[in-house]
Every structure is written in structure tokens, then in C-alpha cells.
């Protein structure tokens, strides 16, 4: 598997898109820090960007990579290599290279700015951690979509729909339900509904880290009470972890039974 | 020895292999023939574990290959459509596959045989169809495995390369290898094959030598013999 990972990574490191993605974060980091001069504002802006952009890039890039490396995959399938190693290697190659673009692209300007001397390092750290989690989650989801759809156009459409659903529509439905059932106690419902969307979960985790949960009113208090405890944090992290593990497991399950 | 027992494979409603049973003895050149869509490639891909049969089993030297992968160390495979990752050059591709398999190779001789030297630094996406096929051939033969599977090896080759390929196949045969070939070029089959397997609608219609097939169909010419089978079964 490590050899496949090495070659996928090598392949991607020669692709223009990895650099475009890296340079985008580099510029974003520089602009936010050096024009804004306020670290915590920069972190909040970054959160808003990361929460939407990382899933989008993860899904699109994952689907794109799967389809464009189809020939390579077929070449590998005839070699004495385990199927699961091929797909796991390719998945990790994409997810790690995207994560590196994110971490290096944002990390370099922050380090140059003098992040290590400021108290905000933990906020920044949780921002990057959730960003990496989101990359791994959405790349895995993208591989699932691509594996199940031979037709590229369909695959891309489903990938975009998935992103749209989790990033935008889910929140809309969530809000509608909250309005509709506002006469009932909704604390538990909100907590659970948040758990089932990795984007929401990441947003809440970062917001709580930033200590601006008070701005969210009563809901904020409920969330703070739950996620603020070490148990809540542990559960949230477990959920993010499951969001990675379950799609990867399905990917391997489907790949094992697929004809090429 | 390779044996297939009661192999069934459907793609959706399309039945490709229909209770196919076949035994191939070690050594010699075996041509797998049949009209388009008769299941030749599916048969080969099942042997490689790329296509998973719905029913039946495949054994190589009495080992069932289902869910195994180590056995592919002893198989060299030439795919029908030679598509490679476009942003690698020829040399990088060879290095990569050598690294993945980690076996001794005879790539230098093969590169010289097919005159690929001038192309080694070129990107795979810029190669012509015939050159790609030569790269494909080098990639296949460089590991010197006992079972060689060639899916349409002649496609896109110029006459000189074709002659070299025939010589190469004969030379590999003398090493005691089993070589499975699918092709639509009947002259090629008549010239090289020791045995032919004729697939029709997902079953073995005929297995034997070229002359046995001629006798069976009452035809002097091999190409006509094949055409007779096809017209009798499709007319």
C-alpha cells in the first residue's frame, strides 16, 4: 500500500491543481494576516472559508482523481497487489496531498506572522485539525461516489449535490425544523442533527474553541454545555473519526466486489 | 495448469459467461477465439481477478484464486487497450512497475528488441498507438512469468514489430511458458497457435488444434473454418 501511496502522491505532486490549491491558501493567509492585523478575526474568516471550501475541493478533487487515474488503477489491478491496498493507497495519496496544501498554505503565513508567540495558537490548531478531518471525510465520500458511478457526468453531479446538501441545504432544513417545532424542547435534536453533518460539527467545534459561543444565545449555551466538556469533545471527535472510517470501509467493500 | 469450472458471469441482464468449463495444460500457445462479445476478455479478466464471476471457480495449479492476489506474481498480462497514466514518461512507467513487483526483469533486451530507446524520455500521452502497444509489450514480457496472457497483442503494430512479436512469442514458448492469446487476426493464430479455444455465447464451442477444427468444419482454409462456425450459429 505504501508504494501505491508513494506513486499517487508523486503523481499529484506533479499536478498543477495541488499548487493552485496551495497558493490559494498561502495568499488567503497572507492577505488576512497582513492586511487585517487581527489574529482572531483572521481565524474566524478562515473558518468560514475552510468550512465551505475544504469539503468542496475534497469532493471535486477526489472524484476527478478517481476518474482520471482509472487507467492506472486497471494497470495496477493486474499486478500482484491487494485490491484494498490499491484503493486505500490512492485515497490516502489524495487526502494527504490536499491536507498538506491546506496545512502548509495556511501554516507558512501564520508562522511568519509570529503565531507561536500568540495565545491563539490553539484556535489555529483546531482550525487546521478540522480542516484535515474534512479533507479526509469528503475525499472518502468522493471516492465512494466515483466507485459507484461509471458515468463521469453522473459522478460529478452527485459529488456537487452531496456538497450542496451538507454545506447549504442541510442547514436550511435544520432551521425549518427548529422553527416548525419551536414549541418543543429541541436541545437534544439540535445536538444529534449537528452530529450527522460533518460540516456543522466542525463549525461548532471551532466556534466553541473561539469562545464566542455566547453570541449564539441559548443554543450556544446548550452546545457549550455539551461540547465544552471533555466528554462532549471526545464524542464530537469520535463522530468526525467515524465520518472518515465508515466511508473508507464502504469504499473498500465496494471496491472488493467491483468488476473492472 | 489452469482450470475453469462452471463459470457464470452476468453484467446486468447480459449473460457473458454461461457455465463455462475449460482446462488449459501447461506449456504452449493457446489462442482464445470468438466473435465480438463472446466473453474472451471477460474470461481473461476473471483469471486475473479483475472481473469476479457470479458462480463457478478458477484454479491455477490446483489453487483456487478467489480473493487471492499473490498468484498474479506468476502472470504477465497485456491489456487490450493500452492506456497509461499520461503524465509519466516511458522510463518512469517501467521503473514504477518494476518497483511494484520487485522481481528481476529483462526490460533492457526488450527495449532494444522493439527499438524503444528514443522514446524513453517521452510522456506516455504523446506516444502513437503503435508505440504505446510496444511499451505495453515490454511491460508484459519483462518479468518472465510462467503464464502470459495477451489480449489483442497485434493491434497497432507495424509489420516489423509484428514479426518480432511472433519471434518473441515462439521464444517464450520454448522456455515452457503457457501463453494465452486473444486476437481477430486468423493468419497470426494459424501461424503461432498450438491449440485453439473457440468461445461462443459464453461457452466453449471448440477446443483443439487448427487442423482438428478444419476437419470438424470440412474446410481447407482456417479463416473459412471459423466463418463456417459463425454462420452456422448465427444465420
pLDDT score for A29? 87
> What is the edge-to-edge ordering of all strands in the sheet holding B203-208?
B75-78, B147-151, B178-182, B28-33, B195-200, B203-208
Q: How far apart are CA A44 and CA A134, in angstroms?
A: 17
Range of the domain at B70: 2-234
Average pLDDT score over residue span A165-169: 91
Please check whether residue A90 touches B, CB under 8 A.
Answer: no
Chain A positions touching B97 (Cβ under 8 A) are 75, 79
Residue B90's CATH number: 3.40.50.300
- Cβ(B190)–Cβ(B211) under 8 Å? no
Interface test with B, best of A6, A76, A78, A81 (most B CBs within 10 A): A78
Would you give the DSSP letter of residue A219?
H
pLDDT band at A59 (very low <50, low <70, confident <90, very high): very high
Any idea of the CA torsion for B47, B51, B54, B57, to the nearest 10 degrees? 10
Residue B55 bridge partners (DSSP): B8
Interface test with B, best of A10, A79, A150, A253 (most B CBs within 10 A): A79
Percent of chain A exceeding pLDDT 70 equals 95
Say which residue the cell 479483475 belongs to.
Answer: B50
Q: How far apart are CA B131 and CA B157, in angstroms?
A: 8
Instruction: Decide if pLDDT at A48 tops 80.
Output: yes
Give, for all 235 residues of chain B, the pLDDT tens digit. Answer: 888 888 889 988 888 888 888 888 888 899 998 888 888 889 999 999 999 999 888 998 888 888 888 888 889 998 877 677 777 888 988 888 888 888 888 888 889 988 899 999 988 888 888 888 888 889 888 988 899 999 888 888 888 888 888 999 999 899 999 999 998 888 888 888 899 998 888 888 888 888 888 888 888 888 888 888 888 876 4
Average pLDDT score over residue span A117-135: 85
Number of domain units in chain B: 1
pLDDT band at A75 (very low <50, low <70, confident <90, very high): confident
Average pLDDT score over residue span A35-52: 82
Instruction: Decide if pLDDT at A190 tops 70.
Output: yes
Give how far Cα A12 sits from Cα of A64, A136, A199, B212, Å. 12, 16, 26, 54
Domain boundaries in chain A? 2-257
pLDDT score for B214? 85
Chain A positions touching B70 (Cβ under 8 A) are 80
Question: Given the DSSP bridges, would you call strands B55-60 and B2-11 parallel, antiparallel or unpaired?
Answer: antiparallel
Q: How far apart are CA A67 and CA A150, in angstroms?
A: 9
pLDDT score for B92? 87
pLDDT score for A24? 92
Chain A positions touching B100 (Cβ under 8 A) are 3-4, 76, 79, 81
Amino acid at each position: 500500500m505504501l508504494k501505491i501511496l508513494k506513486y499517487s502522491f508523486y503523481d499529484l505532486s506533479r499536478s498543477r491543481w495541488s499548487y493552485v490549491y496551495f497558493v490559494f491558501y498561502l495568499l488567503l493567509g497572507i492577505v488576512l494576516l497582513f492586511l487585517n492585523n487581527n489574529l482572531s478575526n483572521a481565524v474566524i474568516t478562515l473558518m468560514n472559508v475552510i468550512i465551505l471550501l475544504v469539503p468542496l475541493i475534497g469532493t471535486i478533487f477526489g472524484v476527478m482523481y478517481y476518474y482520471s487515474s482509472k487507467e492506472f488503477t486497471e494497470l495496477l489491478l493486474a499486478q500482484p497487489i491487494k485490491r484494498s491496498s490499491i484503493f486505500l493507497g490512492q485515497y490516502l495519496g489524495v487526502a494527504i496531498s490536499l491536507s498538506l496544501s491546506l496545512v502548509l498554505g495556511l501554516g507558512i503565513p501564520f508562522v511568519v506572522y509570529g503565531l507561536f508567540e500568540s495565545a491563539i495558537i490553539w484556535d489555529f490548531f483546531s482550525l487546521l485539525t478540522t480542516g484535515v478531518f474534512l479533507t479526509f471525510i469528503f475525499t472518502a465520500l468522493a471516492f465512494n461516489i466515483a466507485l459507484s458511478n461509471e458515468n463521469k457526468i453522473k459522478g460529478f453531479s452527485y459529488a456537487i449535490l452531496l456538497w450542496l446538501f451538507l454545506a447549504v441545504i442541510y442547514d436550511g432544513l435544520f432551521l425549518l425544523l427548529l422553527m416548525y417545532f419551536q414549541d418543543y424542547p429541541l436541545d437534544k435534536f439540535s445536538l444529534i442533527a449537528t452530529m450527522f453533518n460533518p460540516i456543522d460539527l466542525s463549525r461548532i467545534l471551532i466556534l466553541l474553541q473561539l469562545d464566542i459561543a455566547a453570541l449564539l444565545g441559548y443554543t450556544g449555551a446548550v452546545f457549550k454545555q455539551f461540547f465544552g466538556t471533555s466528554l462532549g469533545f471526545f464524542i464530537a471527535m469520535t463522530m468526525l473519526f467515524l465520518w472518515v472510517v465508515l466511508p473508507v470501509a464502504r469504499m473498500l467493500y465496494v471496491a472488493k466486489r467491483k468488476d473492472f | 495448469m489452469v482450470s475453469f469450472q462452471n463459470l457464470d458471469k452476468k453484467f446486468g441482464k447480459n449473460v457473458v459467461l454461461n457455465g463455462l468449463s475449460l482446462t488449459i495444460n501447461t506449456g504452449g500457445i493457446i489462442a482464445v477465439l470468438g466473435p465480438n462479445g463472446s466473453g474472451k476478455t471477460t474470461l481473461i479478466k476473471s483469471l486475473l481477478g479483475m472481473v469476479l464471476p457470479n458462480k463457478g471457480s478458477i484454479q491455477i495449479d490446483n489453487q483456487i484464486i478467489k480473493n487471492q492476489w499473490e498468484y498474479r506474481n506468476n502472470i504477465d498480462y497485456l491489456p487490450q487497450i493500452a492506456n497509461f497514466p499520461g503524465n509519466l514518461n516511458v522510463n518512469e512507467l517501467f521503473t514504477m512497475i518494476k518497483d511494484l513487483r520487485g522481481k528481476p526483469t529483462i526490460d533492457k533486451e526488450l527495449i532494444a528488441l522493439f527499438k524503444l530507446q528514443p522514446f524513453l524520455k517521452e510522456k506516455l500521452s504523446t506516444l502513437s498507438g503503435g508505440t504505446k502497444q510496444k511499451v505495453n509489450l515490454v511491460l508484459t514480457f519483462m518479468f518472465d512469468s510462467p503464464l502470459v496472457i495477451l489480449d489483442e497483442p497485434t493491434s497497432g503494430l507495424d509489420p516489423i514489430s509484428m514479426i518480432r512479436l511472433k519471434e518473441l512469442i515462439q521464444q517464450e514458448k520454448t522456455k515452457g511458458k503457457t501463453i494465452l492469446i486473444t486476437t481477430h487476426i486468423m493468419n497470426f493464430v494459424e501461424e503461432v497457435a498450438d491449440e485453439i479455444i473457440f468461445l461462443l455465447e459464453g461457452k466453449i464451442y471448440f477446443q483443439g488444434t487448427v487442423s482438428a477444427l478444419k476437419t470438424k468444419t470440412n474446410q481447407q482454409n482456417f479463416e473459412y473454418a471459423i466463418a463456417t462456425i459463425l454462420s452456422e450459429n448465427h444465420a
